[in-house]
Structure 1
């Protein structure tokens, strides 16, 4: 049986945490209720066996979003056609092209053969299946609509892929331009300006201040460029290591939301993912507290996750969803009003689906005009670089020409 880490409250409201074994999360919840505890969160512990040699693990590529969408679509088609779940999983093991996904499906099939539920098997692979995915599948499994659960997740993942592709397409142009500028500065400082410095050394005249600054910067780059590359590599490695920590990830995710130009796009895309996931869980029948827990991990932003978990704590205390959402400071008054209407009419899922559509339209609008917003900044950067080169390189030549004409 699988091991589940739980968190609940006793009759006096005190928080109780621990680990229990059971065939499924539902069985653990029933056991906790029988002991007088109200479960708040139940998560499957992940126990992974070592896989293969070290070289194979280093170059192993995890399943991507496309593979997860394909798996969800295939499971929906097979279950809709009446194929037994174990036979469907075994068939996908034989046809999948990804070695990592094949191994995951084999472990899921083994778990199904040992009597575990589908959701419990998926929960043992959190690096592939998110808590949102597991929660929706668990509800579909209990309601006898497992095929619909896979279909809903396929639709959600496809929307996520489309949003990522739009953001990637919009950022392609500025990234290419900035990379070209960086390469040009590197080449000019290491090869072009040193050639001019030998020419300027023969001038019997005082060089302009712009030329002296340019030559000093070039000399610094020429003498220290290996050390600069090492320092840059160390800085990037240190930053990645810091971001991997909990405090570093929280600060980085908060900083991303306040970046100029792109910060608002990231925030709206994150809130669209939250609203879409929330609506999906509510339509699937996931309890509200479990929905907030699953959605908090699905947004992929530690700062927003903390705000959503604060919403869950407020709901646990008896506050309404509208008040807890307003307390986060993330949502606009229009969105808060839509959530309030949904709460009053009992159609929170429909209202949050509208909220998701609203944020996605805003993301599309900002992405369309992202190039228009970044292009002036890039033009100014290129203009400044050309101005510095013109003042530093050509100004002494013009002065030399003037001296020659006077002579």
Structure 2
């Protein structure tokens, strides 16, 4: 059977290590708990981390999204097991980690030991913990359920991370395919096509128009590649500078939402992100207006963020959330209809989380459909371009052969 190594906290607050020869990670966790200990890390003996461990928590110089998630999960576990907050932070501090991450946790612990609430200690680390994170922790402190709040926050972070990773992973293959297509074209135009130019000159015949186009493209790339590269860099920098202007960024983001395929995908991704944020905040007792103010900050599309701001103004004057969001006509109709049902039934928080789950799945399905069409399209484009180049090379040769016969 597989061998699993573990780290756990005893009832006295001491960290113990060991290993179990069991069938699964869950069985190892059960054995740790049966021994009266709190599992902190479970990993297979070959070094692959288990699902709740802290082994890779602070491997980098700063706490990234994954590390913050694991920190939250383990802090919730320790608090749920009855450990005092300062003791729980001390346990996390004693685990192996980078020096910078150690200082972050140490500062949080020192704030707490000095009498400050955890939310205030987290707020003092703005580059690590977001407004959403801090406000949820603050709501949990007020409600007296910090461990439950941290557990919900960990679930939120985990789902958000999973959605982001699913989209990124789905785009890896198409990105590689696009790079390979452009690399193949560059090789053909820069290294293969120019080899035929001396032969065509010796033929002393008028070249077909497509042959002239291909030869010109190959010569240009070979001789002025540095100018083309500089032009591309200039265009990219110009676009980034223009998008740094809030008005131009707003206009561009609004236009993105109207694009035929990409627009609906962006709307679904952002709707899922907003709904999960609002639902999680409302579950923890954060007022709706405050939740909207926090939720708009998790949106990457400024046009949708502007719509949330306008919706908050409507809600402030007594309007319903669903009607306020629907006014912009930028959010999917299904989302606003589901939110309306949640408001009517008095379970807005639960319905928002259902909206998030629904549009997580919708976004993933949309990406899958896009990729299913993109791969054959790219293959056809590559085939067509290569065929065009080969035809441009073969036409003069065939013309000469015909005239000789």
TM-score interval (norm. to shorter): 0.7 to 0.9
Structure with larger RCO (C-alpha < 8 A, sep 6+): 1
Task: Find the counterpart in structure 1 of residue 302 from structure 2.
Answer: 302
The alignment status of 1:231 with 2:236, answered yes or no, reads: no
Aligned to 2:3: none
By how many angstroms is 1:251 displaced?
A: 4.4
Report the aligned-residue RMSD. Answer: 2.2
Between 1:279-288 and 1:225-234, the stretch displaced more is 225-234
2: distance between equivalents of 1:399 and 1:99? 72
Shift of 1:188: 2.0
The residue aligned with 2:327 is 327
Q: What does residue range 355-370 of structure 1 map to in structure 2 within 5 Å?
A: 355-370=355-370
- CA gap 1:83/1:347 in 2 versus in 1, 3 angstroms: same
User: Are residues 101 and 352 of structure 1, via their aligned partners in 2, closer, same or farther at CA, if it must alter by over 3 Å?
Assistant: same
1:324-365 CA distance string (max 9 Å, x none): 122121334433332222222211112212222221221232
Cα distance change on mapping 1:134 and 1:248 into 2, 3 Å: farther
Residue 162 (structure 2) pairs with residue 162 (structure 1)? yes
Equivalent runs, 1:65-214 vs 2, <5 Å: 65-95=65-95, 97-214=97-214
Give the match for residue 53 of structure 1: none
**2 CA distance for matches of 1:61 and 1:387?**
50
Q: TM-score, normalised by structure 2?
A: 0.79
SS at 1:213 equivalent: helix
Offset at 1:230? 2.1
Point out where structure 2 has 5 or more consecutive residues left out of the alignment.
Answer: 1-59
Q: Output one character per residue of 1:60-85: Cα deviation in whole Å (capped at 9) or x when no partner.
A: 85422211111111111111122222
Number of aligned residue pairs: give it. 346
**Cα drift, residue 246 of structure 1:** 3.4
Q: Which moved more, 1:230-239 or 1:358-367?
A: 230-239
Any idea what the Cα deviations from partners look like across 1:126-162, whole Å, max 9, x if unmatched?
Answer: 3322221111111111111111111111111111122
Distance 1:212 1:61, change over 3 A: farther
TM-superposed deviation, 1:255: 4.7
Assess, with a 3 A threshold, how the Cα gap between structure 1 residues 63 and 401 changes in structure 2: closer, same or farther.
farther
TM-fit CA distance, 1:388: 2.0
Alpha-carbon distance in 2 for matches of 1:370, 1:144: 46
Secondary structure, aligned partner of 1:73: helix
Give secondary structure in 2 for the equivalent of 1:266. Answer: helix
